[in-house]
Structure 1
Amino acid sequence: MTRIDLHSHSSVSDGTDAPAEVIAYAVAAGLDVLALTDHDTVGGIAEAAEHLPSGFTLVPGMELSCAHEGSSVHLVSYLFDPDSSGLAAELRRVRSDRASRAEEMVAKLQEHGVDVTWERVLEIAGAGVAEYADANTIGRPHLARAVVEAGAARDVQDAFDKWIGSGGPAYASRYAIDPVRAVELVREAGGVCSLAHPGRAEGATNGAVPVELAERMAAAGLGGIEADHPSHNRTQRKFWRGVAADLGVVVTGSSDDHGSLTGRRLGCRTTAPEAFEELTAPATGVPLIVG
C-alpha cells in the first residue's frame, strides 16, 4: 500500500534537516509520497526535488500561518502556484513580519537577562544577516534553540513554556492571514489545502480550532482536515474525523515532522491513497514531482 505523509518541515523553516536529508529520511521510513510543507515558504522544494529516488513522489507544499480571534490556525497547502499575485503578496508580508517579530522577541529576552543574540538566531535559522526578511523562514523554534544554548531553558519546549509561548515574558504577536481568506488565496492559486492539527490551536479558548471556523473554511474550498496528527489523542482524532465527514472533506494524516526536534517521526501518521487522490484532484497550480 502506498504510504503518504502530507506534513513535514526542513531547515528552510523550523526543521533541523536540510530538504535533501528530509527526503532521505522519508525513504528510510518507507514512505512513497511526502509533502514538504515549510512555514510560509516553498524555498526547500527545489533542493528536495533534486534528491528524489526513482518512483518517489514529492508534493510541493507549505504550511500557511493564519490567525482567528487571537488564536493560531495553520493551513497545510499543496500544489499551488507560488507566483500567484494574491498569495505571493501575503507571503511576503508574513515572512517579513516573522523576522520583525523574532527581532522583537530577542530584544525582550535580552531585557530579561537571557544571553541571546539576533546574529545567533539567524545562524540557527540558516538566514543571511543582510537579507533575513527574504531568507529562510525564521520562527520561534529557532529562538527556542538559542534560549537553550544560552542555558535559560532545558529544551525547546521548556523555552516555549518559560519564555516565548503565548503570554510568555518574551512573546510578541505577528501578522497572520485570516483562515478563510487563506483558503481562498490557495484555491485562487490553483492549490488545495487541509486544516492542520485542528485540535491544537495556540491561544484558542479551548485549545482547538472552532468547528464554526472549519465550516466557513470548508465553504471557501477547504479540501481536508488533518485529524490524524501526533498531537491528537484518540478522542480528538475521532472528533475531527467526524467533523470532516460532516463537512464532506477528506481526512488527512501526517507526521508534522521537524527533524530531531520531533524525533524524526516521518510516516508515524499517514493519509489514505484514496483521500490523497480526492484532495489533490482539483489542483491546477503546479504538478506533483515524481523521481
Structure 2
Amino acid sequence: MDNAVEVCKAIANEHRMNILKVLSTGPHNVNELSEKLGLPFSTTAVNVKKLQDMNLITTELIPGRGTQKINTKNFDRIIIDLFPEDQIEEGNMITFDMPIGEYIDCQAEPSCGIVGMDDYIGMQDDPRSFYETGRKHAQLLYFRVGHVEYRYPNRLPYGAKATELEFSAEICSEAPYHKLDWPSDITLWINDIEIGTWTSPGDFGGERGFNTPKWWGLHFTQYGLLKNWKISKDGSFLDGVKISDVTVNELNLDEKPFISLRLGVKKDAVNVGGLNLFGKEFGNYRQGIIMNLRYVD
C-alpha cells in the first residue's frame, strides 16, 4: 500500500500524466518531450526523473548522433488493490490475453464490421465479413446487435479449486460515427451463464485513442472504457460493484476443457446501442480480452 501511495503521488501531476501519454506513442528523449508538451527542458527533465524513480518509465542510453537518453513507458495500466492484505486469498494465477479476432462463434447485425491494422477486413455492414479468415487479425470489431464468443484453454490443474475468475476488455457503444450520449446494454456470459449487464454511456470519438492508427478517421470510434468483471465465491462484480449472485463455483470450471466468454447486445435490451470491442492496436489499452484465473491446490 505504501508503494501505491507513492505511485499515486507520482501520477497526480498534469505534466507527468502528459509525459506518459506521449510515451504511449513510442520512446522519446527529454528534448522531444519538451517540444511536444511545450514545457521548458528543465521542467520536463524533473518530471521525467520522478517517473523514472517510481519505475513508471525506463531511461536508456542509446547510441546515435552522440549518446542519447531515451525514455520508454513501462506500463500500460496501473491497478491498485484496495483489499486488506489479510483478505487476499493466497493461491496461483493463470493469465491469458485473447486476441479479439479469435472468436469461435458470432452473430452480427448492421451497423457492423471488422477492422485490421491497415484496413477493413471484408466489407462494412456485411455480417459475412465476420467469417473471413482474416478476422484473426482484427483490432476492432463492432455491431449494433449480436455477440461474439471466445473459448479460453482451461489450464486449471486437476484437483485444484478455482477461487476467482476475472476478465477485462476495452468496450463501448456503437453509434453512427461516434456519439458520447448513446447508451447500450452490453451483457457478459461465462460458460453460457449470464453474469450481468453493463450500460455503456456512449461511443467515444473526436480525440484519437492512444493506440488507434492514424489512417482511422477521427469522426469514427476511437477508444472505449476498460471494464473488469470478477466472479468469486461472493458473487459477480463489475469494477468492484456487485452485479449478480453468480459465484465461481456455479461456473463448473473443473468440468469443461475450455472456459467460454460471450459479449453481446440482446435484441430485446432496453438500450440497443451496439458494441465496439478493441484489440491491442486500437483504443487506449494494449490488450485483447484478458482472463485471470486464480486457484488453490
TM range (shorter): under 0.3
Hey, which of these two has a bigger chunk of helix by percent? 1
Higher relative contact order, chain-length normalized (CA < 8 Å, sep 6+): 1
TM-score (norm 2): 0.25
Q: Please report the TM-score for the alignment, with normalisation by the length of structure 1.
A: 0.25
> Higher strand fraction: Structure 1 or Structure 2?
2
Larger radius of gyration: 2
